[in-house]
Amino acid sequence: MPSKSGLEIQSQYRSAAIHSTVGIVGAGSIGCFLGAILAQDKSLSVQFFGREALGLELAAYGLSAAFPGGNASAIAPAFYTSMVSLIDCDVILLTVKATSLPHLIPQLKKFIRPDVPVIALQNGIGVDTMLSASLNNPVYRAVVPFNVVKTGPGHFQQTSAGQLLWPQSNDNRLSYLAAIFRQHGSGVQLCADMRAVEYGKLLLNLNNALNALSGLPLKQQLLQQDIRLVLAAAMQEWLMVCKTLQIKPQAMTALPNELLPWLLRLPTWLFRVLARQMLLIDEAARSSMWDDIQAGRRTEVMYLNGAVVRLGIETGVPTPVNSAIVELVKHLEQGEAIHLSPQQLRQQLLASA
C-alpha cells in the first residue's frame, strides 16, 4: 500500500506530472544530487544538461546520491551537452553557478518554452532579478543550505545537515517536485518569503570566501578563532545592511542570526561545545569557492561578499571587511598565490574595520 506521502502525490499533484520532463541545467554536484532523487519518480523524465566529461562518467558509472534520509540512483541518466532538448522540458532546475548565468541566459531564451517555470538554485543576491529581466518565464528561487560533494565517480553525497528550501507556490509542478523529494526521504521546507531565505543563506555563504583564502577544510577553518573573528565582522556588516533595508533574513541555524557573530567570537574550546551542530561537517569538505580557485575559474564572490558591498553603498552602510575580502579573492582569481596564516588573515582583513 502506498505511503501517506505517496497517496498525497497521487491525489493532489499527479495530473501535473504525468509524462512531464524536468531539465537539470548545469549538472554539477547540486544538480546531479537533486536530479538523482527526482529520477526515482517513474512519472517524470529527468534530463541533465552539462559538460561532456560528466556525461561520459554518468554513462559509465550511473548516478547515485546519498543523504541522511536515504539514497537514490539512476542507471544511464539522459545527459545532453547541447541545450536544444530544453524545448521538451516542462520544469527547469537551474543549478549552474551565478557567474555562468550571463552566458547561459541567451540559450535559455532560445530553447525554453515561455510557460515553463525556472527554479534558480544559485548562491547569492540578485539572481532572480537578472533572470526575470531576461526571460518571459515564471522564475522562482530555491535554496540548498547544505553541502554536497562528489565522493566517487557518479556519486554525490550530502555532507552537512539541512533541508531543501523550496518556494511555496500555486504551481502544481513545483508542489509535485517538493512532494517527490519528501517521499524519497530528502527533507523539504516550503517557504513563502524566499527573499528572506536568500538573505539568510548569504549570511552563511559569507564564509565561502574565507574558506578559499584560508586553504583549510571547512571544519578546520571554523576551529580557527582568528578566521571566525573575521567572519563575525563580515556577518555584522550584512546584518546591518539587512536592518537598513528592513529585511529580516531567515535563520539557517538553530541560533538567531543576531547571535551568530557572538558565537563565532567565543574561545575555540567553548565554540566547539556550543556549535556542535555547525561542526557536523565532513572532515574533507570545502566551499565551492575553494573549488573554483583550484580550477582557475571565476568565483561567485561578487554575488556574495560583493553583494554586501553593493547594497552597503546603496544603503550607506560601511562594509570595509567584506570589501577587503572581495579584494583578496580577486587577487586569487588572477592566479596570485596568497599564503596567509589565520592570524595574518585577521590582521589584514580587520585592519580597516
Helices and strands (DSSP H and E) totals, the chain:
16, 12
Query: Rounded distance, CA 120 to CA 104, Å?
Result: 13
| pLDDT given at position 171 | 93
Q: Tell which residue, 245, 164, 156, 144, has the closest CA to residue 204.
A: 144
List where CATH 1.10.1040.10 sits in the chain. 195-349
Query: Rounded distance, CA 322 to CA 308, Å?
Result: 7
| pLDDT given at position 83 | 95
Q: What residues of the chain score a pLDDT lower than 50?
A: 1-7, 9-10, 18
| pLDDT given at position 209 | 97
Query: Rounded distance, CA 211 to CA 223, Å?
Result: 12
Tell me whether residue 353 is exposed, middle or buried, using C-beta atoms within 10 angstroms of its C-beta: 0 to 12, 13 to 18, 19 or more. middle
Q: Tell which residue, 266, 213, 254, 259, has the closest CA to residue 236.
A: 259
| pLDDT given at position 147 | 84
Beta carbons of 63 and 29 less than 8 angstroms apart: no
- Residue 139 has a CB neighbour count (10 Å cut-off) of 21
List where CATH 3.40.50.720 sits in the chain. 4-192
Tell me the C-alpha to C-alpha distance, in Å, between residue 65 and each of 35, 48, 240: 9, 15, 38
| pLDDT given at position 105 | 94
| pLDDT given at position 265 | 97
| pLDDT given at position 3 | 46
H or E element, residue 23? strand 20-25
| pLDDT given at position 1 | 38
| pLDDT given at position 19 | 63
Q: To the nearest whole number, what is the mean pLDDT of the chain? A: 91
pLDDT digits (tens, 9 = 90+) for 50-65: 999 999 999 999 999 9
| pLDDT given at position 10 | 47
pLDDT digits (tens, 9 = 90+) for 8-27: 544 555 555 546 899 999 98
- Side chain identity at 181, as an amino acid letter? F
| pLDDT given at position 162 | 86
| pLDDT given at position 286 | 86
Query: Rounded distance, CA 278 to CA 245, Å?
Result: 28
| pLDDT given at position 93 | 98
DSSP annotation of 12 reads: I
C-alpha grid cell, residue 71: 539514497
* 4-192 maps to CATH 3.40.50.720: yes
Q: CB-side exposure of 28: number of CA atoms within 13 Å?
A: 14
| pLDDT given at position 278 | 84
| pLDDT given at position 8 | 52
| pLDDT given at position 88 | 95
| pLDDT given at position 12 | 52
Beta carbons of 144 and 121 less than 8 angstroms apart: yes
Query: Rounded distance, CA 79 to CA 94, Å?
Result: 15
May I ask the CATH class of domain 195-349?
Answer: mainly alpha
Tell me whether residue 111 is exposed, middle or buried, using C-beta atoms within 10 angstroms of its C-beta: 0 to 12, 13 to 18, 19 or more. buried
